Structure 1
Amino acid sequence: MDDDIRLGLVLPTGHAQWGAGAGPRALIDFAVRAEELGFDSLWAGDTLLRPVLEPLALLGALAVRTERITLGTAALLPAFRRPVQSAQALASIDQLSGGRLVVAVGAGFPNRSEREYAASEVPWQRRFARLDDTVELWRHLWTASGPSDFHGKVLHFDDLPEPLAPHRPGGPPLWLGGATPAALERAGRRYDGWLPYPPDPARYAPGLAAVRASATGAGRDPAAITPALYTTLLVTPDVASGRAALDAYCRAGYGLPLEVVETIQLLVAGPVEHIADVLRGYLSAGVTHLVCRLGAPDLPGQAGQLERIAELLPVLRGSG
């Protein structure tokens, strides 16, 4: 493997994950420690279905407490926020961080996210067109030099005021989650990165090929799209105990056993070398940025995993 591999960490933002005696401010120290250990990126999820820290608020706090590490959303659901205001919030984080923001977005999950859309007073119908319009509106605002108009398929604005420009010219990179044929096509045509979570590396390579083919068809450079992977990891003494721990994690978080969840997304537990062996299959399929959620139930448990997960990067790069 090579130095292009990046290792990111999904932050445990849920109220239930803070653990007894811990609080949300402990996440700041957790994130700073991750930067000290050499992680390349920090990521915050987005949901209205359980009590969690609002991801943009958290990333704003991290922007002024960290120095070099990339800050990202994995994944932001833009429909939950008014699009002009969210463009300003994202530009603000990019300014505060000195251009370290990456925005991965999604449109939600059928039979799950309809309730979140209703709470946001946004129709579930045409959610993908709304998502595409939102990111195009952001790009429009991030490059506008004065008042302007915007008219998409769903969103329409006249006389938009002059916006705040991000630190990075053109704005933060925009990634797309999802692996349906439509998502692959849209990722190649519109986005700067692709963040799926397939449970088998054999599914990753053809998906990435489809993304790159779509980019080529749209006249874009396919090599400019970051191939990423969202995964859940847990370092344990052996695979059997790790699978038992992940089963408890899945039952607590999803109400489903590991055997069901692992048919949908990638979860790996065991010694560092075992985890590395699994991830090498995805790196061979084209992944360059690993976005890792830690499969421990609370912040103290995840803090104990930090040093162990940090051992992955030199192993994957062939220097460990």
Structure 2
Amino acid sequence: MKDLEIGVPGQIMPPAERAVDLARRAESEGFDALWWPCHLMGWHPDSIWTPDMSPLAATQPSSHVYFDPLLMMGAVGSQTETIKVGAVVTDLIRRHPAMVANMALTLDHLTKGRAILGLGSGEMMNVTPYGMSFDRPVGRLEEGIEIIRALWAADGPIDYEGRFHRLRGAVLGLSPYGPAPPPIWTAAHGPRMLRITGRLADGWLPTKLAPEVYAESLATIRQASVAAGRSADTVTPGLLAYVLAAPDETTLRRMQEAPLLRAIMVMLPPQIFRELGVEPPEGFHELIPASVPRDRAEAIIAGIPPKVVDYYCFCGTPEQIAEEVRTYYKAGLRHLIMWNVTAFGDPELAGWSFRAMREVKDILKGDA
């Protein structure tokens, strides 16, 4: 699979000086991209971020520690040579589209054309606690991308009349580093977001969904691209894949029981829980993780069986993980982000798991 790009997370927390060292190592090891999430608040409630739930809590006091992705992209991208850097993903609620347009072009210059602007509709937990409205997030994203593209394409002042934004004589004089502006990739799952991706984006970054659904969603994107007068293969098919590496089946099953790992599964849409025969965590997406009380958090975790982890993560040995990735490659995948969550299952396997990620990469890159 020589045309499959493989990315991994960048350094998301202090010490910042490690970020460049780790990036250069990833570059030398043959990884294609580094990605940073955009969070003010993490998924784990404070009430369960305790040593009795995971040894991680003893060494990291808060579960809400995140560097800003765009700043880290600039810091790392300016100190590396070939590896791409991206945000997975930021939103256009907390960040005004005009400012993002300028920041992305600045990153384009700092990285000499290696920056990817990942955008999504946002998450309530990163918006409402900070005094901003989460009203109609998809509409805001669509308008925002239109504004970014209009500013990038303009050679003078532009006007824009939208539901959420109105621009009058707006200018952006900075030009791209190369012949084209940085690519925009979107985190899309639902039909409307898929159509927006086909019409306005350059890449697609969903989280894991069944291979056949991945193929169907990609077909929707390609149809939307053609309808917008673009090539059917304009959009690069990506995937944010949570990876749970284990040396054997017994260890894997034990890790899938870990509370902090099961807690991450709340990101799944309710319909996926139902398809797996599990009642979805009622109302969780309307709650703010930092304020979820202990008894409520424990009840949510208790209602998420290990089979949900098995569905949402690429699980097993490096060979098993690579085999599952191949099914997505056949469905159209061309850029895989391996997000290692093994430490939530067993912190003692963290070091081994990163070696396993390199092995997965080598297996996949070696495929004909």
Regions of 4+ moved over 6 Å: 298-301
* Offset of residue 313 of structure 1: 3.0
Tell me the secondary structure at the aligned position of residue 324 of structure 2.
helix
User: Which residue is equivalent to 1:250?
Assistant: 261
Cα separation, 2, equivalents of 1:162 and 1:207: 34
The aligned counterpart of 1:6 is: 5
Tell me the residue number matched to 1:262: 309
- Residue-by-residue CA offset, 1:203-257 (whole Å, 9 max, x unaligned): 2111111111222222221112101111011332113313433543514656645
Equivalent residue for 1:290, pick from 336, 342, 355: 336
The equivalent of 1:186 in structure 2 is 196
Q: CA offsets, 1:126-154, max 9 Å, x none?
A: 22121111112111222222333333332
In structure 2, give the amino acid aligned to 1:250. L
1:271 equivalenced with 2:317 (yes/no): yes
Q: Deviations over 1:38-80 (max 9, x none)?
A: 0001000011212311111111111112110111111112211
1:20-99 to structure 2, matched below 5 A, reads 23-49=15-41, 50-99=64-113
User: Helix, strand or coil: the match of 2:127?
Assistant: helix
Match of 1:125 in 2: 135
Note the residue ranges of structure 1 that are not aligned, 5 or more in a row.
none
Contact 2:262 2:306 in 1 (8 A): no
Mapped contact 1:37–1:307 kept (Cα < 8 A): no
Name the SS for the 1:222 alignment partner. coil
Give the secondary structure class of the aligned counterpart of 1:154: coil
* Contact 2:77 2:84 (C-alpha < 8 Å) held by counterparts: no
1:12 Cα shift?
4.9
> Using the alignment, how far apart are the partners of 2:106 and 2:348 within structure 1?
31
Paired residues of 2:225 and 2:234 also in contact (CA < 8 A) = no
TM-score by length of 1: 0.86
In 1: Cα distance, 2:7 partner to 2:125 partner: 30
- Asked whether the equivalents of residues 139 and 170 of structure 1 are also in contact (C-alpha less than 8 Å), the reply is no
Q: Aligned Cα RMSD in Å?
A: 2.5
Which residue number corresponds to residue 212 of structure 1?
222
Give 1:305's match in structure 2, choosing from 341, 353, 356. 353
Matched AA of 1:220: R
Distance apart, 1:120 and its partner CA:
5.0
Q: Does the residue aligned with 2:167 lie in a helix, a strand or coil?
A: strand
- Bigger-Rg structure (1/2): 2
Q: Work out the percentage of aligned pairs sharing the same amino acid.
A: 29
Q: Distance in 2 between matches of 1:304 and 1:29?
A: 19
| Alpha-carbon distance change, 207 to 272 in structure 1, aligned in 2, over 3 angstroms | same
CA contact (8 A) 1:80 1:120 kept: no
Q: Displacement, 1:300?
A: 9.6
TM-score under structure 2 length normalisation: 0.76
State the one-letter code of the partner of 1:3: K
Q: Which residue of 2 aligns with 1:101?
A: 115
